[in-house]
């Protein structure tokens, strides 16, 4: 018997996958929020456009970034930090939309972190070829709060290592609507994103957008 060409191929990946103690991948968790998320994102980008920042070492990042919320993550020749002001406009970052806040809080609960109230949302834009090398997120004041990371658009390979840079990372495919909640014992684990493969996403086009919510201050 030949397989029906139009038969759906079952997606066997679990909806909820524990990546490490404190880190969980919630597949499709952001889907219900999509209709609010994307218009709100457009408004933020109109006020605070994506820009490719420079690392303290003088390298321009391949990922373009912007922020919303009372604190925004920035990098320049003087270092990495959170700043309430967008250095490009001289104005505060756009406010965090209620739908962003709500998604982050609900995902945190699903990841067993109650009362997550992010003050920062870093918005990363990857075009094909853009990547993020292995790093730790350690510019926040308080490592007790988790990080909630939302993937939109083209799929990416997320590399998730351990407490030491040399720990061999495992690879996870993150698709449109997937959410990673991450804190507790793995809060400072090394992680990165492999160079984005080319493609065209039905609603987001030729890019991946990642929202990372943090309690920065
Ligand atoms: C990204 N994410 O997925 C980059 N950091 O585009 C991160 O660097 C990240 O997803 C901390 C926790 C979750 C993350
Ligand atoms: Fe990170």
Tell which atom from ligand 1 comes closest to the C-alpha of 147: 12
pLDDT at 55: 96
Query: pLDDT per residue over 59-103, tens digit each?
Result: 999 999 999 999 999 999 999 999 999 999 999 999 999 999 999
Paired tokens of 12? 């066997």
Dist. CA 39–CA 51, nearest whole Å = 20
Query: pLDDT per residue over 48-62, tens digit each?
Result: 999 999 999 999 999
Burial letters 20-38, b for 16+ CB under 10 A, else e: bebbbbbbebbeebeeebe
Distant-in-sequence, close-in-space partners of 51: CB < 8 Å, separation ≥ 6: 64, 65, 66, 88
Place of tokens 């690879």: 171
Q: Is residue 26 scored above 60 in pLDDT?
A: yes
Residues having CB closer than 6 A to ligand 1 are 124, 132, 137, 147, 149, 158, 180, 182, 191, 193, 210, 212
Q: What mean pLDDT do residues 151-163 have?
A: 98
CATH code of the domain occupying 16-214: 2.60.120.590
Paired tokens of 101? 């806040």
Question: Are the C-beta atoms of residues 81 and 122 closer than 8 Å to each other?
Answer: no
Paired tokens of 195? 């160079």
Dist. CA 199–CA 209, nearest whole Å = 14
Name the phi and psi angles at 35, rounded to 5: -65, -20
Cα-to-centroid distance, 139 and ligand 2 (Å): 10
Cα-to-centroid distance, 149 and ligand 1 (Å): 6
Query: pLDDT per residue over 194-210, tens digit each?
Result: 999 999 999 999 999 99
3-state helix, strand, coil in the chain (%, to 5): 15, 35, 50
pLDDT at 11: 66
Name the phi and psi angles at 94, rounded to 5: -55, 150
For the CA of 211, the nearest ligand = 1
Cα-to-centroid distance, 87 and ligand 1 (Å): 22
Tell which atom from ligand 1 comes closest to the C-alpha of 192: 8
């Amino acid at each position: 018997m030949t397989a029906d060409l139009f038969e759906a191929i079952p997606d066997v990946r679990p909806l909820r996958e524990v990546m490490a103690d404190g880190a969980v991948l919630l597949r499709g968790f952001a889907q219900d929020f999509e209709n609010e998320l994307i218009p709100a994102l457009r408004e933020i980008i109109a006020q605070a456009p994506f820009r490719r920042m420079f690392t303290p070492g003088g390298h321009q990042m391949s990922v373009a970034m912007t922020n919303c919320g009372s604190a925004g993550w920035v990098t320049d020749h003087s270092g990495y930090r959170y700043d309430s002001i967008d250095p490009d406009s001289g104005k505060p970052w756009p406010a965090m939309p209620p739908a962003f806040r709500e998604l982050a809080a609900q995902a945190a609960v699903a990841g067993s972190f109650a009362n997550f109230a992010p003050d920062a949302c870093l918005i990363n834009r990857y075009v094909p070829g853009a990547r993020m090398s292995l790093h730790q997120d350690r510019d926040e004041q308080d490592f007790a709060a988790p990080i909630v990371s939302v993937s939109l658009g083209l799929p990416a390979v997320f590399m998730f290592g351990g407490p030491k840079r040399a720990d061999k990372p495992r690879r996870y495919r993150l698709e449109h609507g997937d959410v990673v909640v991450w804190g507790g014992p793995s809060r400072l684990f090394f992680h990165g994103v492999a160079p984005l493969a080319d493609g065209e996403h039905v609603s987001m086009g030729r890019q991946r957008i990642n929202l990372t919510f943090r309690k920065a201050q």
